[in-house]
Each structure stands twice: as structure tokens, then as C-alpha cells.
Amino acid sequence: MDYPALHAAKAELLALTEEARTEDGGFDLAKIRSITGTNAEKLAKIKALNARVAELKAMGHAAENLDGLSGDGARRFESGPQLGTKGIAPSVSQGARQWAEEAAQTLTKAAERHGVKALTSGAVDAPTMVRTGLFTMPTNPARLLDLIVDRQQVSGNEFEFLRQTVRTDNAAAVVDAATKPTSIYTVTSVPDRVRVYAHLSEAIPLRLFADHRELSGFLDSEMSRGVLDALERDIVSGAVAGENVVGILNTTGVGTTAYATSVPTTLRKARTAMENAHEAPTAWVLNPTDAEGLDLLATADGEYVVDGSAYANIFGNIPKVISTSVPAGTALLADWSQCRLIVRQGTTIDADSSGVLFDTNRVKLRAEGRFGFAVNRPAAFRVIDLTP
């Protein structure tokens, strides 16, 4: 493996991206003086160099797999001076090289999508998409959104879905020449629109992103989680009159189970009601406080119910999700395949350092997504009151 060649390619890539860097943190191909030709030719050079770096890294990975162990079986690590070109010192850090590669990829993608002028706008989004399509629910769902396995991508602000309002099965044995019974399955068309879920960060000094590479990923994760948490809360409790999706608790036709004697009794009665209605629920959702109360239930002998068979008898083999999206004192039992998440725009992170932020060398982030929610068959959902 030609390690000096890899180091040289990375150093050249770093030099080019440093030349292209603007004061507001963007990139401008026209600023690159060390490559002659048009902006398109400069972009082609950067793409070729980036591909060369990837190729050399892949070759190095293969070589390490073949020859990475010394004779005694221990991993051999090599160190030494790292070569540079175009005025880049031999002591260029690994973090700088990594930044150069990421910057080159951002530069290439942004130029291909928006043109060279857009590179200095100060805002390039970093998508964190919600998976769309129809898929199998995870074996161990971690959050309420994991339960919604039907997700539809839409191309506009409005959408329409069918909701079943009546299901009456009248099938029966029929003698010859007799009129067959008629079952009633009534559906209605429901028009709706997607809603915007978003929030902003505080203004952040740009130097923190240069000094702490993990900050970008941390903020991406935190802000994306915040958007999805808000969406989950509305999927459960969104009000008809508000600027949010209409939640399960406010959907006409959803089944209800009133409190009866105790929380375990109430939960078991809810499961019975679903079975009597020929529904096949796929998951329970409980608030953490209610889940704690169930876990701490004890028999007269002081043994926790969770350690015995009674707990399994209550919930059956149906998975449980613990979520603050469900209000304390309320539980949900549902066939979650009978609702749909509408996705117009998955969660994205945008950055802006213009205006007064430019004067103070700071940046603000915005996390935003556009979603809708549809309950296709309300009878497949049951709201359970756990409050005496």
C-alpha cells in the first residue's frame, strides 16, 4: 500500500477545499486559483481527487486485512511523517483531512444540486429521513413511531385517505337458491393536509464546529429527536382545532375501555374487547408512570406480579412500548397497521449564518419536517382509562 500517496492526495484535497472556503463557511469554486479552467472543470478535478482518496483508502483497508497482524498475532500499527503538497505542512492533523474529505463531498453535491452560486448561501441541509413504505414492525419497538409500519410519501401539501366507519359481518350458511346475506363495510374519503413540525437552535459560535467534530452529529440527533417527539405527541393527542395532525384520542370511532376495579383488570378487559371485536392488536403503549406502577404491583405474599404468570396473562404476547407521548392514566392497545404516517418532507437540518449572525460569526440550525397522520380503521384502536 502506498501510504505516502494517500497522504498526498488528502493533503491536496485539503488545500483545494481551503482555497474554496468563504468567510461565512460556504464554498465557492471560483476562488480556487491552483486549478485552471472553468468551474465545471475545477469541480471535475475535485471529484476525481475525492474518488482517488476513496480508492487509496479502500486499498489500504484491504492491505491491512491481509497484513495487519505481526508474527505474534498482535495488531501492528505504523506511524511516521505524513507527506503534504501545495504548501500543506507535514503535520496536518487527521481531523483536518477528514474535514477536507467531508467538505469536498459537500462541495460536489451542492454544486450538482443547486449550481455554484448556491454554495455560498450558508445553508446546506443534512437529511434525517423517516423511512417510508410498508414494512414489518420491529421485534422490539423502541418508540411509538416504530409501530406505524405504513408510511406514505406524498408530493404535495394535501392528501386523501379512506376511513372505515362501519364493519358488519353477515356471512352465514346459505341453502340452495336463497339470497345471500349482505355484509356492510362502509368507508368514507377524508381529505387532509400535512403539517410542519420544526424548531430552532440557539445561535452557536461557528468555531465550535471546527473545534469539536462531534457537535454537528450531536445537534442533528437532538434536533431530529425533538421533531419526532412532537409528532408522536400529536399522533396520540392532536386536537381537531389545532395546527397539528389529528391524534388517536380525538378520532371519531376509536374504541374505549373504562376503568374497572384495578389497572390490571382494566387492561385485561381491553384485550378481551379487542378479541371480541375480532381485532388483532400489534402493540400496547403505556406512559412510563403507569408502566412503573404495573412493575411494582405485588401479591399479598409480597411477590411482584411481574415475576409470575399474571403479568403475561394480562398483556399476552403483544409487545409493549413505553412512551411519554401517551398521557399518564391512559393506555393504548391497537393494530398499528391500521393507521398511516404521511411524509411530505422527512426531518432535515438547515443552517444559516447570514444577517446579524454573520457579523457575530455564529450559526443557527433549524430542524423541520412535514407530516400527516391517518387512522384508516378507528375500530382497530382502543383507548384505555387507567384512572380510578
Q: Any idea what the CATH number is for the domain that residue 343 is in?
A: 3.30.2400.10
If asked whether residues 259 and 140 sit together in one domain, one would say: yes
**Identity of the highest mean pLDDT range in 19-28, 77-86, 98-107, 117-126:** 19-28
If asked whether residues 352 and 275 sit together in one domain, one would say: yes
If asked whether residues 56 and 146 sit together in one domain, one would say: no
Phi, psi dihedrals of residue 96, rounded to the nearest 5°: -65, -40
If asked whether residues 62 and 151 sit together in one domain, one would say: no
Cell numbers given for 249: 384520542
If asked whether residues 160 and 282 sit together in one domain, one would say: yes
User: What is residue 244's three-state secondary structure?
Assistant: coil
- Going by C-alpha positions, the residue among 222, 250, 245, 251 that lies closest to residue 232 is 245
If asked whether residues 138 and 22 sit together in one domain, one would say: no
If asked whether residues 250 and 379 sit together in one domain, one would say: yes
Q: Which amino acid does the sequence have at 79?
A: S
If asked whether residues 194 and 339 sit together in one domain, one would say: yes
Q: Which residue, of 69, 101, 121, is where some domain finishes?
A: 121
Domains identified in the chain, total number: 2
If asked whether residues 87 and 140 sit together in one domain, one would say: no
If asked whether residues 164 and 249 sit together in one domain, one would say: yes
C-alpha span between 4 and 382 (Å, rounded): 65
Q: Residue-wise over 251-284: b if at least 16 C-beta within 10 A, else e? A: beebbebeeeeebbebbbbbbebbeeeebebbbb
Q: Which residue, of 91, 121, 151, is where some domain finishes?
A: 121
Could you read off the pLDDT of 258-300 as tens digits, one per residue?
A: 999 999 999 999 999 999 999 999 999 999 999 999 988 887 8
Between 10 and 91, residue with greater pLDDT? 10
Could you read off the pLDDT of 359-372 as tens digits, one per residue?
A: 999 999 999 999 99
- Going by C-alpha positions, the residue among 224, 227, 249 that lies closest to residue 238 is 249
Q: Which residue, of 82, 98, 121, is where some domain finishes?
A: 121
pLDDT tops 80 at residue 309: no
pLDDT tops 50 at residue 326: yes
State the residue range of the domain holding 111: 3-121
What are the angstrom distances between the C-alpha of 135 and each of 13, 142, 149, 152, 345?
Answer: 41, 16, 5, 11, 19
Q: Measured in Å, how far apart are the chain's first and last C-alpha atoms?
A: 72
If asked whether residues 172 and 307 sit together in one domain, one would say: yes
CB atoms within 10 A of CB 182: 8
If asked whether residues 135 and 264 sit together in one domain, one would say: yes
Q: Residue-wise over 353-377: b if at least 16 C-beta within 10 A, else e? A: beeebbeeebbbbbbbbbbbbbbbb
Mean pLDDT of 102-127: 47
